């Protein structure tokens, strides 16, 4: 499974998680940019088209739910896969994630095998 030069955006307020998820995606050939909150990610997405977005939910400035709702309003992101990767595990959080426009909902932590399954399921 290879990203074949595809671009991914990783959004998380934790630098450690951004580095880790970016590293995993690069193993699959993705070019990766990162943002530490939803507002920063939205601004980046308005300037560059990403093929995949991985987003946390609990972040300062703009949370993942609001970020994805606003992202989905941009024509070029109506069908882009958005994977929520979070520590939140309630049914209500999952419902909110899908209602905001998320494609998949994964509970942290993830590893190379989990990411490979994610990439296969959205390709």
The reported pLDDT for the residue numbered 2 is 54
Average pLDDT over the chain, rounded to whole?
92
Query: In terms of pTM, does the model score above 0.85?
Result: yes
Give me the residue spans of the domains in the chain. 7-122
The class that CATH gives domain 7-122 is alpha beta
In this prediction, residue 3 has a pLDDT band, given cuts at 50, 70 and 90, of low
Q: Which residue has the higher pLDDT, 27 or 32?
A: 32
**11-45 exposure pattern, b = at least 16 Cβ within 10 A, e = fewer:** bbbeeebbebbbebbeebebebbbbbbbbbbbeeb
Q: What is the mean pLDDT of residues 50-66?
A: 95
């Amino acid at each position: 499974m290879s990203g074949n030069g595809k671009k991914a955006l990783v959004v998380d307020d934790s630098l450690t998680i951004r580095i880790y998820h970016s590293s995993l995606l690069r193993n699959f050939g993705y070019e990766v940019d990162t943002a530490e909150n939803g507002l920063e990610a939205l601004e980046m997405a308005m300037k560059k088209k990403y093929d995949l977005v991985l987003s946390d939910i609990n972040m300062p400035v703009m949370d993942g739910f609001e970020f994805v709702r606003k992202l989905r309003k941009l024509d070029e992101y109506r069908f882009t896969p958005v994977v929520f990767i979070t520590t939140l595990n309630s049914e209500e959080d999952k419902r909110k994630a899908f209602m905001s426009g998320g494609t998949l909902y994964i509970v942290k932590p993830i590893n190379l095998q989990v990411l490979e399954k994610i990439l296969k399921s959205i390709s």
